[in-house]
Structure 1
Amino acid sequence: MRNVIEEARMVLPGIQALFGFQTIAVFNQRFLDLPGAMQLCHLLALALVVLSIALAMAPAAYHRIVESHQVSEQTVRLSSWFICAALAPLAGGLALDMAVVLYLVAPSYALSAAGTAATLALLLGLWFAFPLRARRRRG
């Protein structure tokens, strides 16, 4: 359980920092100049990062409420699942914000969509496909 909590502690500050930057972006004048579709894209990215924070923090809350003085194998498994699950919405949020940034650099929906797809493929590949493939090879 200590390892699971340490993993959450490593991931959570980065996610929270991203959330802070995402929130501040809304108050920037250039945000108001974005088309509605890109503003919505940023809002969806923000929502996905909130979901990621909730999933990453769930193990600590669950442990404190359900098993504050002990640790079961079920809690370790559930906590590990929560942390792993937090990476999926984080990847989506990062990819959607990449779309917004790319649109600011070169106002093109096609470039934004391509950047979103590439970012999502990279993150999901490294965070899920690669480890799952390695686990399958080990049997």
Structure 2
Amino acid sequence: MEQKHEEQEQDDMEMRNIIEEARVVLPGVQALFGFQTIAVFNDRFAELADYAKACHALGMIMVVISIAMVMTPAIYYRTCHGQATASMAKLSSRMIRGALGPLAAGLALDMFTVIHVVASGMEACMALSVGAGLGTLALLAGLWFFLPRHGRRKIAGSKQARQNRLV
């Protein structure tokens, strides 16, 4: 009985930590969405090429998906009356990490749109816009996905090396 109570406390603590992480990320993502929304009402937006408008709209959709994924753990936890489970914590953690994919895509599409506006009239406008968008996506993917994966492998390798020394 005591072990079950300890497991429940550990699951609740894990969920609270996940929700706290979401609280840190959410204001920035919501602010980004606000700026994306305002851009549509700018006079220069009407002058954009249709493909640039489509990139902006797709970027907004990606940010909305990211917002939904970041908010889901708190709603899920509240719906279950604050009774966390290990599977709830695991799913919620995946939702927070998974929200970074659409956020990176949305930011990359917005970077494409902004550079397209800034470089309009330049001969290499399309190349600069595409390069900025792809560069943004590569940077965010590297920092948010590949660097943490590399860190996990390094930690796992250190643990394995310590175990080998103990044997």
| Cross-structure match for 2:50 | 36
Matched with 1:125 is 142
Structure 2 gap ranges (5+): 1-14, 157-167
CA RMSD of aligned residues (A): 0.7
Structure 2 counterpart of 1:78: 91
The structure number with the bigger radius of gyration is 2
Distance in 2 separating the partners of 1:80 and 1:62: 12
TM (norm. structure 1) is: 0.97
Instruction: Answer yes or no: is 1:60 the counterpart of 2:74.
Output: yes
Q: Distance in 2 between matches of 1:109 and 1:92?
A: 18
Cα distance in 1 for partners of 2:83, 2:119 equals 54
Aligned twin of 1:88? 101
Distance in 1 (alpha carbons) for counterparts of 2:82 and 2:29: 28
> How many residue pairs were aligned?
138
Alpha-carbon deviation of 1:69? 3.3
TM-score of the two chains, using structure 2 as the length reference: 0.81
Q: CA 1:33/1:136 → structure 2, altered by over 3 Å: closer, same or farther?
A: same
Runs of 4+ in 1 over 4 A off after TM superposition: none
Give how far 1:70 is off: 1.4
Q: Which residue of 67, 92, 112 maps to 1:99?
A: 112
Q: 1:61 Cα shift?
A: 1.1
Any idea what SS the aligned residue of 2:137 has? helix
- CA separation in 2, counterparts of 1:62 and 1:2? 12
Q: Deviations over 1:37-71 (max 9, x none)?
A: 10000000000000000000110111111x21311
